[in-house]
Homo-oligomer: A and B are copies of this chain.
């Protein structure tokens, strides 16, 4: 339909269709849009989802630890955690050794919430995987993104079952 203008061909201008950052941003917005629709009933934002997932996976971590894993400034984490605490999903406990720190835990209600959340999450992920054309492409994408991200995001000890795409 749309044809590249002569001026663009001649001067080899930046094409957004080849700009990795631009494509990543659009893809992320698309996935987050699906996330918002999926989790509208639970009134859960991506960041809140991530916080609950991290607390559930390893309870007792300090606020700053959770915040750092998500690249959230500790100042901005406060309101986020206030919200989860006000909803009765998670709680802060005074550290016994270091009484400055708060260790984070799920409440019982939070545990049940995470179970529901996990169900919805599987549907959401399945939808994205389908859009990507299947598990194989999905794993390929994650491997490529991990390669791009480098060593910064191996928190949960992800075991690659197949050779990463980067090794070729």
Q: Measuring CB to CB, which residues of chain A are less than 8 angstroms from any residue of chain B? A: 1-5, 7-8, 11-32, 34-35, 46, 49-50, 53-54, 56-59, 71, 114-115, 117-118, 121, 125, 128-129, 131-134, 136-138, 140-142, 144-150, 152-158, 165-168
Residues on B with C-beta less than 8 A from A155 are 2, 16-17
Residues on B with C-beta less than 8 A from A59 are 5, 7
Given contacts A14-B117, A141-B141, contact A58 B8 (CB under 8 A): yes
Residues on B with C-beta less than 8 A from A167 are 133
**Residue of B4, B7, B29 touching A71 (CB-CB under 8 A):** B29
Residue of B nearest to A156 (CB): B17
Given contacts A3-B157, A157-B4, A166-B137, contact A146 B23 (CB under 8 A): yes
Given contacts A57-B4, A128-B148, A150-B131, contact A25 B17 (CB under 8 A): no
Residues on B with C-beta less than 8 A from A137 are 144, 147, 165-166, 168
Residues on B with C-beta less than 8 A from A141 are 20, 141, 144-145, 148
**Residue of B7, B16, B117, B125 touching A50 (CB-CB under 8 A):** B16
Residues on B with C-beta less than 8 A from A146 are 23
